[in-house]
Structure 1
Protein backbone atom coordinates (compact mmCIF):
# COMPACT_ATOMS: atom_id res chain seq x y z
CA UNK A 1 0.00 0.00 0.00
CA UNK A 2 1.31 3.46 -0.94
CA UNK A 3 2.71 5.61 1.85
CA UNK A 4 1.11 8.63 0.16
CA UNK A 5 -2.45 9.80 0.81
CA UNK A 6 -2.78 12.21 -2.11
CA UNK A 7 -0.59 10.75 -4.86
CA UNK A 8 -2.77 9.66 -7.77
CA UNK A 9 -2.26 7.91 -11.11
CA UNK A 10 -3.82 8.94 -14.41
CA UNK A 11 -3.24 5.44 -15.75
CA UNK A 12 -4.97 3.90 -12.75
CA UNK A 13 -8.11 6.06 -12.95
CA UNK A 14 -9.52 6.95 -16.37
CA UNK A 15 -11.78 9.63 -14.84
CA UNK A 16 -8.98 11.41 -12.97
CA UNK A 17 -8.00 13.76 -15.79
CA UNK A 18 -11.52 15.15 -16.12
CA UNK A 19 -11.82 15.61 -12.35
CA UNK A 20 -8.48 17.41 -12.21
CA UNK A 21 -9.16 19.76 -15.11
CA UNK A 22 -12.55 20.61 -13.64
CA UNK A 23 -10.55 22.08 -10.73
CA UNK A 24 -7.74 23.59 -12.81
CA UNK A 25 -10.01 25.33 -15.28
CA UNK A 26 -11.57 27.33 -12.43
CA UNK A 27 -8.15 28.47 -11.21
CA UNK A 28 -6.39 28.77 -14.58
CA UNK A 29 -9.03 29.56 -17.24
CA UNK A 30 -7.92 28.27 -20.64
CA UNK A 31 -5.48 25.69 -19.29
CA UNK A 32 -7.63 22.80 -20.51
CA UNK A 33 -7.40 24.02 -24.10
CA UNK A 34 -3.61 24.44 -23.82
CA UNK A 35 -3.30 20.89 -22.51
CA UNK A 36 -5.52 19.67 -25.34
CA UNK A 37 -3.27 21.38 -27.92
CA UNK A 38 -0.28 19.55 -26.47
CA UNK A 39 -2.20 16.28 -26.35
CA UNK A 40 -3.12 16.52 -30.04
CA UNK A 41 0.52 16.71 -31.07
CA UNK A 42 1.54 13.76 -28.92
CA UNK A 43 2.74 15.38 -25.70
CA UNK A 44 0.07 14.75 -23.11
CA UNK A 45 -0.09 16.30 -19.65
CA UNK A 46 -1.07 12.92 -18.21
CA UNK A 47 2.15 11.18 -19.29
CA UNK A 48 4.34 13.91 -17.78
CA UNK A 49 2.74 15.00 -14.52
CA UNK A 50 2.43 13.15 -11.23
CA UNK A 51 -0.73 14.52 -9.57
CA UNK A 52 -1.22 14.90 -5.84
CA UNK A 53 -4.93 15.56 -5.26
CA UNK A 54 -7.14 15.88 -2.21
CA UNK A 55 -10.78 14.94 -2.85
CA UNK A 56 -14.03 15.85 -1.13
CA UNK A 57 -17.03 13.72 -2.12
CA UNK A 58 -15.22 12.66 -5.32
CA UNK A 59 -14.54 16.30 -6.24
CA UNK A 60 -10.92 17.39 -6.62
CA UNK A 61 -10.43 20.29 -4.22
CA UNK A 62 -6.63 20.68 -4.03
CA UNK A 63 -3.92 19.73 -6.54
CA UNK A 64 -0.15 20.01 -6.73
CA UNK A 65 1.54 18.50 -9.79
CA UNK A 66 5.13 17.32 -10.20
CA UNK A 67 6.97 17.33 -13.54
CA UNK A 68 10.45 16.15 -14.45
CA UNK A 69 12.43 18.78 -16.36
CA UNK A 70 15.76 17.67 -17.88
CA UNK A 71 17.97 20.74 -17.69
CA UNK A 72 21.49 22.00 -18.17
CA UNK A 73 22.56 24.30 -15.34
CA UNK A 74 26.05 25.80 -15.33
CA UNK A 75 27.13 23.22 -17.88
CA UNK A 76 25.87 20.22 -15.89
CA UNK A 77 22.98 17.97 -16.98
CA UNK A 78 20.45 17.13 -14.27
CA UNK A 79 16.77 16.34 -13.83
CA UNK A 80 14.90 19.02 -11.91
CA UNK A 81 11.48 18.61 -10.32
CA UNK A 82 8.93 21.15 -11.49
CA UNK A 83 6.02 22.08 -9.21
CA UNK A 84 3.05 23.17 -11.29
CA UNK A 85 -0.73 23.68 -11.51
CA UNK A 86 -1.12 24.36 -7.80
CA UNK A 87 -4.80 24.96 -7.10
CA UNK A 88 -7.41 24.82 -4.34
CA UNK A 89 -11.12 25.44 -4.83
CA UNK A 90 -12.12 28.80 -3.40
CA UNK A 91 -14.66 27.38 -0.95
CA UNK A 92 -12.06 24.98 0.52
CA UNK A 93 -9.25 27.46 1.07
CA UNK A 94 -7.80 28.36 4.49
CA UNK A 95 -8.49 24.90 5.88
CA UNK A 96 -4.94 23.55 5.68
CA UNK A 97 -5.59 21.28 2.68
CA UNK A 98 -2.95 22.91 0.47
CA UNK A 99 -0.35 22.57 3.23
CA UNK A 100 -1.15 18.88 3.69
CA UNK A 101 -0.79 18.15 -0.01
CA UNK A 102 2.36 20.25 -0.43
CA UNK A 103 4.05 18.58 2.52
CA UNK A 104 3.42 15.19 0.93
CA UNK A 105 4.69 16.46 -2.44
CA UNK A 106 7.93 17.67 -0.87
CA UNK A 107 8.40 14.36 0.98
CA UNK A 108 8.00 12.60 -2.37
CA UNK A 109 10.26 15.00 -4.29
CA UNK A 110 13.04 14.81 -1.71
CA UNK A 111 13.46 11.16 -2.71
CA UNK A 112 14.08 11.99 -6.37
CA UNK A 113 15.24 15.57 -6.94
CA UNK A 114 18.04 17.70 -5.57
CA UNK A 115 16.41 20.80 -7.04
CA UNK A 116 12.79 21.94 -7.37
CA UNK A 117 11.59 24.91 -9.44
CA UNK A 118 8.34 26.74 -10.01
CA UNK A 119 7.16 30.08 -11.36
CA UNK A 120 4.45 32.09 -9.67
CA UNK A 121 2.94 35.52 -9.17
CA UNK A 122 2.35 34.66 -5.50
CA UNK A 123 5.70 33.72 -3.97
CA UNK A 124 4.35 34.09 -0.44
CA UNK A 125 2.54 30.75 -0.83
CA UNK A 126 5.83 28.89 -1.29
CA UNK A 127 8.26 30.65 1.02
CA UNK A 128 7.07 28.63 4.07
CA UNK A 129 8.04 25.42 2.25
CA UNK A 130 11.68 26.32 1.69
CA UNK A 131 11.36 27.90 -1.75
CA UNK A 132 13.25 31.13 -2.43
CA UNK A 133 12.99 33.72 -5.18
CA UNK A 134 15.83 33.72 -7.71
CA UNK A 135 16.28 36.90 -9.71
CA UNK A 136 15.92 36.66 -13.49
CA UNK A 137 17.03 38.93 -16.33
CA UNK A 138 16.26 39.83 -19.92
CA UNK A 139 18.86 40.81 -22.47
CA UNK A 140 18.60 43.54 -25.11
CA UNK A 141 20.72 43.91 -28.23
CA UNK A 142 20.59 46.90 -30.58
CA UNK A 143 21.16 45.84 -34.15
CA UNK A 144 19.47 47.77 -37.01
CA UNK A 145 19.51 44.67 -39.23
CA UNK A 146 17.39 43.70 -42.24
CA UNK A 147 17.73 40.16 -43.55
CA UNK A 148 18.16 39.26 -47.19
CA UNK A 149 15.82 36.24 -47.28
CA UNK A 150 12.49 35.10 -45.84
CA UNK A 151 13.44 31.66 -44.61
CA UNK A 152 11.11 31.18 -41.64
CA UNK A 153 7.71 29.54 -42.07
CA UNK A 154 5.08 29.02 -39.41
CA UNK A 155 4.65 25.44 -38.26
CA UNK A 156 1.25 23.87 -38.92
CA UNK A 157 0.39 21.13 -36.44
CA UNK A 158 -2.48 19.86 -38.56
CA UNK A 159 0.35 18.57 -40.78
CA UNK A 160 1.85 15.40 -39.31
CA UNK A 161 5.21 16.27 -40.86
CA UNK A 162 5.45 19.38 -38.71
CA UNK A 163 4.50 17.37 -35.62
CA UNK A 164 7.26 14.89 -36.44
CA UNK A 165 9.70 17.76 -36.98
CA UNK A 166 8.89 19.29 -33.60
CA UNK A 167 9.28 15.97 -31.78
CA UNK A 168 12.62 15.30 -33.48
CA UNK A 169 14.09 18.64 -32.51
CA UNK A 170 12.74 18.53 -28.95
CA UNK A 171 14.32 15.09 -28.50
CA UNK A 172 17.72 16.18 -29.84
CA UNK A 173 17.83 19.86 -28.91
CA UNK A 174 20.85 21.61 -27.52
CA UNK A 175 20.29 23.72 -24.41
CA UNK A 176 19.63 27.31 -25.42
CA UNK A 177 22.11 28.36 -22.72
CA UNK A 178 24.73 26.56 -20.67
CA UNK A 179 23.77 28.69 -17.66
CA UNK A 180 20.13 27.59 -17.60
CA UNK A 181 18.72 25.57 -20.48
CA UNK A 182 16.37 22.66 -21.12
CA UNK A 183 16.95 19.40 -23.03
CA UNK A 184 14.72 16.52 -24.18
CA UNK A 185 11.52 17.92 -22.65
CA UNK A 186 8.23 17.80 -24.56
CA UNK A 187 4.96 18.12 -22.60
CA UNK A 188 5.76 21.36 -20.76
CA UNK A 189 7.11 22.91 -23.95
CA UNK A 190 4.00 21.90 -25.88
CA UNK A 191 1.55 23.15 -23.23
CA UNK A 192 3.36 26.50 -23.15
CA UNK A 193 4.11 26.92 -26.86
CA UNK A 194 1.96 24.72 -29.15
CA UNK A 195 -0.90 27.24 -29.20
CA UNK A 196 1.49 30.08 -30.10
CA UNK A 197 3.16 30.75 -33.45
CA UNK A 198 6.32 28.67 -33.89
CA UNK A 199 8.64 29.34 -36.82
CA UNK A 200 10.98 26.96 -38.64
CA UNK A 201 14.04 27.76 -40.76
CA UNK A 202 14.86 24.64 -42.78
CA UNK A 203 18.42 25.57 -43.68
CA UNK A 204 19.23 26.09 -39.98
CA UNK A 205 17.01 23.18 -38.87
CA UNK A 206 15.82 25.52 -36.14
CA UNK A 207 12.48 26.28 -34.51
CA UNK A 208 12.18 29.76 -33.04
CA UNK A 209 9.71 30.81 -30.36
CA UNK A 210 9.58 34.48 -31.26
CA UNK A 211 7.32 37.47 -31.79
CA UNK A 212 7.89 40.71 -33.66
CA UNK A 213 6.65 44.07 -32.41
CA UNK A 214 7.26 46.72 -35.08
CA UNK A 215 11.07 46.69 -35.38
CA UNK A 216 11.63 44.80 -32.12
CA UNK A 217 12.11 41.03 -32.03
CA UNK A 218 11.22 39.11 -28.87
CA UNK A 219 13.16 35.83 -28.78
CA UNK A 220 11.83 33.34 -26.21
CA UNK A 221 13.48 30.03 -27.10
CA UNK A 222 15.34 28.18 -29.84
CA UNK A 223 14.89 24.48 -30.54
CA UNK A 224 17.76 23.14 -32.61
CA UNK A 225 20.66 20.70 -32.37
CA UNK A 226 23.22 23.51 -32.44
CA UNK A 227 22.68 27.10 -31.32
CA UNK A 228 23.79 29.48 -34.07
CA UNK A 229 24.79 33.16 -33.90
CA UNK A 230 21.93 35.62 -33.64
CA UNK A 231 22.99 37.24 -36.92
CA UNK A 232 22.21 33.97 -38.74
CA UNK A 233 18.63 34.12 -37.45
CA UNK A 234 18.19 37.80 -38.32
CA UNK A 235 19.58 37.21 -41.81
CA UNK A 236 16.57 35.00 -42.53
CA UNK A 237 14.01 37.64 -41.54
CA UNK A 238 13.22 40.21 -44.27
CA UNK A 239 11.89 42.95 -41.98
CA UNK A 240 14.02 45.59 -40.29
CA UNK A 241 14.95 44.59 -36.73
CA UNK A 242 16.41 47.38 -34.63
CA UNK A 243 16.36 45.67 -31.24
CA UNK A 244 16.24 42.07 -30.04
CA UNK A 245 14.91 41.24 -26.58
CA UNK A 246 16.17 37.82 -25.49
CA UNK A 247 14.43 35.87 -22.72
CA UNK A 248 17.33 33.52 -21.92
CA UNK A 249 21.03 33.95 -21.34
CA UNK A 250 22.48 34.75 -24.80
CA UNK A 251 26.07 33.60 -24.31
CA UNK A 252 25.75 31.06 -27.16
CA UNK A 253 24.37 33.60 -29.67
CA UNK A 254 27.70 35.38 -30.29
CA UNK A 255 26.29 38.82 -29.51
CA UNK A 256 28.13 41.90 -28.29
CA UNK A 257 27.10 45.01 -26.36
CA UNK A 258 24.29 43.23 -24.55
CA UNK A 259 22.27 45.23 -22.04
CA UNK A 260 20.99 43.24 -19.07
CA UNK A 261 17.93 44.12 -17.02
CA UNK A 262 16.28 42.47 -14.02
CA UNK A 263 12.88 41.27 -15.17
CA UNK A 264 9.79 39.46 -13.89
CA UNK A 265 8.35 37.50 -16.81
CA UNK A 266 4.60 38.14 -17.10
CA UNK A 267 4.74 39.38 -13.48
CA UNK A 268 5.91 35.97 -12.26
CA UNK A 269 9.06 35.06 -10.37
CA UNK A 270 11.22 31.96 -10.46
CA UNK A 271 11.39 30.09 -7.16
CA UNK A 272 13.85 27.34 -6.29
CA UNK A 273 14.15 24.82 -3.48
CA UNK A 274 17.43 23.03 -2.90
CA UNK A 275 20.66 23.29 -4.86
CA UNK A 276 20.74 25.75 -7.76
CA UNK A 277 24.22 26.52 -9.04
CA UNK A 278 23.07 29.30 -11.42
CA UNK A 279 21.90 31.45 -8.51
CA UNK A 280 23.49 34.88 -8.84
CA UNK A 281 24.09 34.48 -12.58
CA UNK A 282 22.32 36.53 -15.24
CA UNK A 283 19.72 34.27 -16.89
CA UNK A 284 16.03 33.62 -17.41
CA UNK A 285 14.19 30.32 -17.41
CA UNK A 286 12.77 30.20 -20.96
CA UNK A 287 9.04 30.76 -21.41
CA UNK A 288 8.68 27.22 -22.79
CA UNK A 289 9.90 25.72 -19.50
CA UNK A 290 7.99 27.84 -17.01
CA UNK A 291 5.65 25.85 -14.80
Structure 2
Protein backbone atom coordinates (compact mmCIF):
# COMPACT_ATOMS: atom_id res chain seq x y z
CA UNK A 1 0.00 0.00 0.00
CA UNK A 2 1.21 3.49 -0.75
CA UNK A 3 2.26 5.97 1.90
CA UNK A 4 2.34 9.72 1.67
CA UNK A 5 6.13 9.72 1.30
CA UNK A 6 5.96 7.59 -1.85
CA UNK A 7 4.08 10.29 -3.76
CA UNK A 8 5.21 13.68 -4.98
CA UNK A 9 1.82 15.36 -4.85
CA UNK A 10 -0.22 13.55 -2.22
CA UNK A 11 -0.80 15.79 0.79
CA UNK A 12 -2.29 15.39 4.26
CA UNK A 13 -4.75 17.86 5.77
CA UNK A 14 -4.02 16.50 9.25
CA UNK A 15 -0.26 16.93 8.95
CA UNK A 16 -0.33 20.40 7.38
CA UNK A 17 -2.73 22.84 9.09
CA UNK A 18 -2.22 25.43 6.32
CA UNK A 19 -3.12 23.04 3.50
CA UNK A 20 -6.88 23.56 3.54
CA UNK A 21 -6.53 27.35 3.33
CA UNK A 22 -4.02 27.13 0.47
CA UNK A 23 -6.13 24.63 -1.44
CA UNK A 24 -9.35 26.58 -1.14
CA UNK A 25 -7.64 29.72 -2.39
CA UNK A 26 -7.10 27.77 -5.63
CA UNK A 27 -10.50 26.07 -5.67
CA UNK A 28 -12.42 29.28 -5.04
CA UNK A 29 -10.71 30.85 -8.05
CA UNK A 30 -11.93 28.04 -10.33
CA UNK A 31 -15.19 27.11 -8.60
CA UNK A 32 -16.62 30.28 -7.03
CA UNK A 33 -18.66 29.51 -3.94
CA UNK A 34 -16.96 26.20 -3.14
CA UNK A 35 -15.45 27.52 0.08
CA UNK A 36 -18.94 28.39 1.36
CA UNK A 37 -20.15 24.94 0.33
CA UNK A 38 -17.32 23.33 2.29
CA UNK A 39 -18.21 25.45 5.32
CA UNK A 40 -21.84 24.41 4.95
CA UNK A 41 -21.12 20.69 4.97
CA UNK A 42 -18.89 21.13 8.02
CA UNK A 43 -21.90 22.60 9.85
CA UNK A 44 -23.83 19.50 8.77
CA UNK A 45 -21.28 17.32 10.52
CA UNK A 46 -19.21 16.28 7.49
CA UNK A 47 -15.89 17.72 6.41
CA UNK A 48 -14.22 18.01 3.02
CA UNK A 49 -10.87 17.39 4.69
CA UNK A 50 -12.06 14.08 6.16
CA UNK A 51 -13.54 12.80 2.90
CA UNK A 52 -11.02 13.87 0.25
CA UNK A 53 -7.44 12.79 -0.37
CA UNK A 54 -5.74 15.78 -2.03
CA UNK A 55 -3.04 15.58 -4.68
CA UNK A 56 -1.61 19.09 -5.09
CA UNK A 57 1.25 20.56 -7.08
CA UNK A 58 2.74 23.65 -5.49
CA UNK A 59 4.74 26.47 -7.02
CA UNK A 60 6.71 27.75 -4.05
CA UNK A 61 3.90 28.05 -1.46
CA UNK A 62 1.10 28.47 -4.02
CA UNK A 63 -1.21 25.55 -4.78
CA UNK A 64 -1.45 25.51 -8.59
CA UNK A 65 -2.96 22.11 -9.50
CA UNK A 66 -5.33 19.88 -7.54
CA UNK A 67 -6.97 16.49 -8.08
CA UNK A 68 -9.05 15.12 -5.21
CA UNK A 69 -9.93 11.48 -4.54
CA UNK A 70 -13.08 10.44 -2.69
CA UNK A 71 -14.42 7.06 -1.63
CA UNK A 72 -17.99 6.24 -2.70
CA UNK A 73 -19.46 3.08 -1.16
CA UNK A 74 -21.84 1.66 -3.76
CA UNK A 75 -23.99 -1.35 -4.37
CA UNK A 76 -23.44 -2.40 -7.98
CA UNK A 77 -25.46 -5.28 -9.41
CA UNK A 78 -26.05 -6.59 -5.90
CA UNK A 79 -22.42 -6.37 -4.78
CA UNK A 80 -21.08 -3.82 -2.28
CA UNK A 81 -17.90 -2.10 -3.47
CA UNK A 82 -15.99 1.08 -2.68
CA UNK A 83 -15.57 3.13 -5.85
CA UNK A 84 -13.01 5.90 -6.20
CA UNK A 85 -14.32 9.33 -7.14
CA UNK A 86 -12.22 12.02 -8.84
CA UNK A 87 -13.31 15.56 -8.02
CA UNK A 88 -12.37 19.25 -7.87
CA UNK A 89 -9.83 18.94 -10.69
CA UNK A 90 -8.28 22.29 -11.51
CA UNK A 91 -5.14 24.27 -12.38
CA UNK A 92 -4.41 27.90 -11.61
CA UNK A 93 -4.96 29.92 -14.83
CA UNK A 94 -1.41 31.33 -14.75
CA UNK A 95 0.13 27.84 -14.61
CA UNK A 96 -1.77 26.05 -17.35
CA UNK A 97 -0.18 24.38 -20.38
CA UNK A 98 2.89 23.36 -18.39
CA UNK A 99 1.97 19.69 -17.98
CA UNK A 100 1.10 20.04 -14.29
CA UNK A 101 -2.38 18.51 -14.63
CA UNK A 102 -0.95 15.47 -16.43
CA UNK A 103 1.77 15.02 -13.81
CA UNK A 104 -0.71 15.10 -10.94
CA UNK A 105 -3.31 12.93 -12.68
CA UNK A 106 -0.74 10.27 -13.54
CA UNK A 107 0.22 10.03 -9.88
CA UNK A 108 -3.44 9.96 -8.82
CA UNK A 109 -4.04 6.98 -11.11
CA UNK A 110 -1.05 5.10 -9.65
CA UNK A 111 -2.55 5.64 -6.20
CA UNK A 112 -6.11 4.78 -7.27
CA UNK A 113 -5.10 1.63 -9.14
CA UNK A 114 -3.78 0.30 -5.81
CA UNK A 115 -7.01 1.08 -3.96
CA UNK A 116 -10.00 0.88 -6.31
CA UNK A 117 -11.25 -1.31 -9.13
CA UNK A 118 -13.45 1.46 -10.53
CA UNK A 119 -13.08 5.24 -10.78
CA UNK A 120 -15.88 7.65 -11.60
CA UNK A 121 -16.22 11.37 -12.16
CA UNK A 122 -18.67 13.78 -13.74
CA UNK A 123 -17.54 16.63 -15.92
CA UNK A 124 -18.56 19.14 -18.55
CA UNK A 125 -15.22 18.50 -20.31
CA UNK A 126 -14.98 14.76 -20.98
CA UNK A 127 -12.13 15.21 -23.44
CA UNK A 128 -9.80 16.06 -20.55
CA UNK A 129 -10.14 12.57 -19.09
CA UNK A 130 -10.19 10.28 -22.12
CA UNK A 131 -6.35 10.25 -22.39
CA UNK A 132 -6.24 8.76 -18.89
CA UNK A 133 -8.45 5.77 -19.68
CA UNK A 134 -11.81 7.26 -18.73
CA UNK A 135 -14.77 6.60 -21.02
CA UNK A 136 -18.18 8.19 -21.27
CA UNK A 137 -21.10 6.10 -19.97
CA UNK A 138 -24.65 7.08 -20.96
CA UNK A 139 -27.08 7.67 -18.10
CA UNK A 140 -30.88 7.65 -18.05
CA UNK A 141 -33.76 9.20 -16.17
CA UNK A 142 -36.90 7.18 -15.61
CA UNK A 143 -40.37 8.51 -16.32
CA UNK A 144 -43.39 6.76 -14.88
CA UNK A 145 -45.47 5.34 -17.72
CA UNK A 146 -48.51 4.20 -15.75
CA UNK A 147 -51.03 6.89 -14.94
CA UNK A 148 -50.14 8.37 -11.57
CA UNK A 149 -53.55 9.86 -10.98
CA UNK A 150 -52.48 10.99 -7.52
CA UNK A 151 -55.23 13.30 -6.34
CA UNK A 152 -53.27 14.45 -3.34
CA UNK A 153 -53.26 12.80 0.04
CA UNK A 154 -52.31 13.63 3.58
CA UNK A 155 -49.65 16.21 4.41
CA UNK A 156 -47.20 13.48 5.33
CA UNK A 157 -43.82 15.18 5.24
CA UNK A 158 -41.95 18.19 6.56
CA UNK A 159 -38.92 20.17 5.50
CA UNK A 160 -35.76 19.25 7.40
CA UNK A 161 -34.14 22.15 9.22
CA UNK A 162 -30.43 21.72 8.53
CA UNK A 163 -29.65 24.32 11.19
CA UNK A 164 -31.30 22.20 13.88
CA UNK A 165 -29.13 19.68 15.73
CA UNK A 166 -31.94 17.15 16.02
CA UNK A 167 -32.61 17.21 12.29
CA UNK A 168 -28.89 16.93 11.51
CA UNK A 169 -28.70 13.93 13.84
CA UNK A 170 -31.74 12.40 12.12
CA UNK A 171 -30.15 12.85 8.69
CA UNK A 172 -26.87 11.30 9.84
CA UNK A 173 -28.69 8.32 11.32
CA UNK A 174 -30.45 7.60 8.05
CA UNK A 175 -27.32 8.10 5.94
CA UNK A 176 -25.41 5.68 8.15
CA UNK A 177 -27.97 2.86 7.95
CA UNK A 178 -29.70 3.64 4.66
CA UNK A 179 -30.93 0.92 2.38
CA UNK A 180 -29.57 1.45 -1.15
CA UNK A 181 -32.24 2.87 -3.45
CA UNK A 182 -31.34 0.16 -5.96
CA UNK A 183 -29.42 -3.08 -6.17
CA UNK A 184 -28.38 -2.08 -9.68
CA UNK A 185 -26.71 1.09 -8.42
CA UNK A 186 -27.26 2.47 -4.94
CA UNK A 187 -25.25 4.31 -2.30
CA UNK A 188 -24.55 3.10 1.24
CA UNK A 189 -23.04 4.76 4.32
CA UNK A 190 -21.89 7.95 2.59
CA UNK A 191 -22.27 11.42 4.12
CA UNK A 192 -19.82 14.00 2.83
CA UNK A 193 -20.79 13.98 -0.85
CA UNK A 194 -24.48 13.88 0.06
CA UNK A 195 -24.12 16.90 2.35
CA UNK A 196 -22.05 18.79 -0.22
CA UNK A 197 -24.48 18.14 -3.07
CA UNK A 198 -27.78 18.37 -1.21
CA UNK A 199 -27.07 20.36 1.96
CA UNK A 200 -28.36 23.56 0.37
CA UNK A 201 -31.37 21.88 -1.28
CA UNK A 202 -34.73 21.10 0.31
CA UNK A 203 -34.75 17.76 2.14
CA UNK A 204 -38.11 16.31 3.13
CA UNK A 205 -38.69 13.94 6.04
CA UNK A 206 -41.57 11.45 5.91
CA UNK A 207 -41.88 10.61 9.59
CA UNK A 208 -44.12 7.54 9.41
CA UNK A 209 -41.89 6.05 6.70
CA UNK A 210 -38.72 7.20 8.47
CA UNK A 211 -37.11 8.41 5.26
CA UNK A 212 -35.73 11.57 3.73
CA UNK A 213 -36.59 12.34 0.12
CA UNK A 214 -34.55 14.62 -2.10
CA UNK A 215 -37.24 15.89 -4.42
CA UNK A 216 -38.73 18.85 -6.24
CA UNK A 217 -42.36 19.50 -7.16
CA UNK A 218 -42.96 21.66 -10.22
CA UNK A 219 -46.66 22.16 -10.77
CA UNK A 220 -48.03 18.60 -10.89
CA UNK A 221 -44.65 17.02 -11.67
CA UNK A 222 -42.56 15.24 -9.05
CA UNK A 223 -38.80 14.99 -9.57
CA UNK A 224 -37.33 12.37 -7.24
CA UNK A 225 -33.53 12.54 -6.86
CA UNK A 226 -32.84 10.26 -3.90
CA UNK A 227 -34.56 8.43 -1.06
CA UNK A 228 -32.68 7.86 2.21
CA UNK A 229 -34.31 5.40 4.56
CA UNK A 230 -33.94 2.13 6.42
CA UNK A 231 -36.34 0.63 3.87
CA UNK A 232 -37.18 1.78 0.37
CA UNK A 233 -40.93 2.17 0.07
CA UNK A 234 -42.99 2.20 -3.10
CA UNK A 235 -43.55 5.32 -5.12
CA UNK A 236 -47.24 5.02 -4.33
CA UNK A 237 -46.46 5.33 -0.61
CA UNK A 238 -44.57 8.58 -1.24
CA UNK A 239 -47.30 10.01 -3.48
CA UNK A 240 -49.93 9.16 -0.87
CA UNK A 241 -48.18 11.53 1.54
CA UNK A 242 -47.93 14.47 -0.85
CA UNK A 243 -50.98 16.68 -0.36
CA UNK A 244 -51.17 18.07 -3.90
CA UNK A 245 -52.09 16.22 -7.11
CA UNK A 246 -49.20 14.61 -9.01
CA UNK A 247 -49.70 13.38 -12.56
CA UNK A 248 -46.09 13.16 -13.79
CA UNK A 249 -43.01 11.65 -12.11
CA UNK A 250 -39.33 11.69 -13.11
CA UNK A 251 -36.92 9.48 -11.16
CA UNK A 252 -33.19 10.25 -11.20
CA UNK A 253 -31.92 6.87 -9.98
CA UNK A 254 -32.57 3.20 -10.75
CA UNK A 255 -36.21 2.77 -9.69
CA UNK A 256 -36.72 -1.00 -9.51
CA UNK A 257 -37.36 -0.90 -5.76
CA UNK A 258 -40.16 1.67 -6.13
CA UNK A 259 -42.55 -0.87 -7.72
CA UNK A 260 -43.55 1.25 -10.69
CA UNK A 261 -43.52 0.95 -14.48
CA UNK A 262 -41.06 3.34 -16.11
CA UNK A 263 -39.56 4.37 -19.42
CA UNK A 264 -35.81 5.00 -19.49
CA UNK A 265 -34.65 8.07 -21.42
CA UNK A 266 -31.03 9.14 -22.07
CA UNK A 267 -30.23 12.16 -19.95
CA UNK A 268 -27.35 14.45 -18.98
CA UNK A 269 -27.89 15.81 -15.50
CA UNK A 270 -27.79 19.62 -15.56
CA UNK A 271 -27.35 19.39 -19.33
CA UNK A 272 -23.57 18.91 -19.22
CA UNK A 273 -22.77 16.41 -16.45
CA UNK A 274 -21.02 13.64 -18.38
CA UNK A 275 -20.35 10.48 -16.40
CA UNK A 276 -16.82 9.18 -17.00
CA UNK A 277 -15.71 5.75 -15.79
CA UNK A 278 -12.34 4.00 -15.60
CA UNK A 279 -12.08 0.27 -14.93
CA UNK A 280 -14.36 -2.75 -15.29
CA UNK A 281 -17.72 -1.12 -14.70
CA UNK A 282 -20.55 -3.70 -14.51
CA UNK A 283 -23.26 -1.34 -15.77
CA UNK A 284 -21.94 -0.55 -19.25
CA UNK A 285 -24.98 -2.21 -20.81
CA UNK A 286 -27.50 -1.15 -18.13
CA UNK A 287 -29.83 1.83 -17.98
CA UNK A 288 -29.07 3.69 -14.76
CA UNK A 289 -28.15 7.01 -13.19
CA UNK A 290 -25.82 7.81 -10.31
CA UNK A 291 -27.97 9.80 -7.87
CA UNK A 292 -27.27 13.53 -7.85
CA UNK A 293 -26.45 13.23 -4.14
CA UNK A 294 -23.46 10.96 -4.88
CA UNK A 295 -21.91 12.70 -7.88
CA UNK A 296 -18.39 14.07 -7.79
How far did 1:146 drift?
2.5
Q: Does 1:19 align with 2:22?
A: yes
Asked whether 1:138 is paired with 2:141, we answer yes
Contact 2:57–2:63 (CA<8 Å) still a contact in 1? Answer: yes
How do 1:57-136 and structure 2 match up within 5 A?
A: 57-136=60-139
Q: 1:228 aligns with which of 229, 233, 238?
A: 233
Q: State the partner residue of 2:269.
A: 265
CA drift at 1:147: 2.8
CA contact (8 A) 1:135 1:280 kept: no
> Counterparts in 2 of 1:177-196, with a 5 A limit?
177-196=182-201
User: What SS does the aligned partner of 1:146 have?
Assistant: coil
SS of residue in 2 equivalent to 1:150: coil
Taking structure 1 as the reference length, the TM-score comes to 0.98
Residue 22 of structure 1 aligns to a residue whose secondary structure is helix
CA contact (8 A) 1:176 1:252 kept: yes
- 3-state SS of 2:149 partner: strand
Please show how residues 24-35 of structure 1 align to structure 2 within 5 Å. Answer: 24-35=27-38
Identify which range, 139-148 or 185-194, moves more after superposition: 139-148
Structure 2: state its 5+ residue gaps.
none
TM-superposed deviation, 1:13:
0.8
Distance 1:148 1:115 in 2: 43
Cα separation, 1, equivalents of 2:283 and 2:139? 10
Encode CA deviations 1:42-96: one digit per residue, 9 max, x unaligned. Answer: 1000001000000112111100000011000011000000000001111111110
1:56 paired residue number: 59
Distance (Å, rounded) in 1 between the aligned partners of 2:176 and 2:229? 10
Find out whether 1:160 has 2:160 as its counterpart.
no
Task: Specify the alignment match of 1:41 in structure 2.
Answer: 44
CA distance in 2, matches of 1:146, 1:183: 33
Q: Is the 8 A contact 2:197 2:293 kept in 1?
A: yes
User: Aligned partners of 1:182 and 1:227: how far apart in 2?
Assistant: 12
Work out whether residues 146 and 237 of structure 1, in 8 Å CA contact, stay in contact via their aligned partners in 2.
no
Q: Secondary structure at the match of 2:286?
A: coil
Which ranges in structure 1 are unaligned for 5 or more consecutive residues?
Answer: none
Q: 4+ residue stretches of structure 1 with deviation over 4 A?
A: none
Q: Distance in 1 between matches of 2:219 and 2:152?
A: 15
Counterpart of 1:184 in 2: which secondary structure?
coil
Give the alignment's TM-score, normalised by structure 2. 0.96
Residues 176-215 of structure 1, C-alpha deviation per residue, up to 9 Å, x if partnerless?
1111111000001100011111000000001000011111
In the aligned structure 1, how far is the partner of 2:220 from the partner of 2:143? 13
Tell me the distance in 2 between the aligned counterparts of 1:187 and 1:290: 11
